[in-house]
Chain A
Amino acid sequence: EVQLVESGGGLVQPGGSLRLSCAASGFTVSSNYMSWVRQAPGKGLEWVSVIYSGGSTYYADSVKGRFTISRDNSKNTLYLQMNSLRAEDTAVYYCARGLMDSSGYHYWGQGTLVTVSS
């Protein structure tokens, strides 16, 4: 059974850093297409970042240069390193998996809340 479990969210001050984790089971992170998608309180879904099966990565303009997506094959875990956090980064962050590159997202985690506030 495919499972995605996010962790690492919390309260952080503006300008601070946080690393989110997405522990996967039922498949191998290293060979899969995965993304981070966020949702600000009461708002819609916003695409954040992607890592393709081959390892290429891309980011939304709103986070480019501040966020880094990566994966650890030995831990079968996807990460999102978030630096220089701003109030507008406050959101629930979901990791999601597609069954092939550039597909829809077939599986989603439960989300982890990041709050950026002083």
Chain B
Amino acid sequence: EIVLTQSPDFQSVTPKEKVTITCRASQSIGSSLHWYQQKPDQSPKLLIKYASQSFSGVPSRFSGSGSGTDFTLTINSLEAEDAATYYCHQSSSLPYTFGQGTKLEIK
């Protein structure tokens, strides 16, 4: 099973700040890495697919990069509505897996 390790687990940030969340895979997964945003009491929402492709309707301040084992989700100019937990997910190898999540708090 491929283990995805996100860092940090928690981050407290101010609006307009730039945020970087990383996801490291225990073995190479190519570009089969996706990012989701989940707000309290809501279902997850796809932000980025295949490491760097933005999903339709996602604000341009969200971007993704990386391949192989190291991936990054970047949020430029953070907004208050971005307070949420962010998850990475790999679909390269069964069983598919998720990272443990990164909770973003807005100061």
Contacts and interface: CB of A to CB of B under 8 A. Distances in A.
Interface string B55-90: 100000000000000000000000000000101010
Given A104-B34, A104-B89, A105-B34, A47 B96 contact: yes
Given A47-B97, A58-B95, A59-B95, A109 B43 contact: yes
Q: Interface size bucket, B side?
A: 20 to 34
A108 B45 contact: yes
Query: Majority SS of interface residues in chain B?
Result: loop
A44 B101 contact: yes
Contact of B43 (A46, A60, A102, A108): A108
B22 interface: no
Contacts of A102: 32, 91-92
B50 A104 contact: yes
Interface in A73-107: 94, 98, 102-106
A15 B31 CA distance: 40
B44 A45 contact: yes
B49 interface: yes
Contacts of B38: 45
A45 B98 contact: yes
Interface string A42-77: 001111001000000011110000000000000000
Given A59-B95, A108-B44, A44 B49 contact: no
A45 B49 contact: no
A24 B100 CA distance: 28
Given A98-B91, A104-B46, A105-B44, 12 more contacts: A35-B96, A44-B85, A44-B99, A47-B95, A47-B98, A102-B92, A103-B50, A104-B36, A104-B50, A105-B34, A108-B45, A111-B43
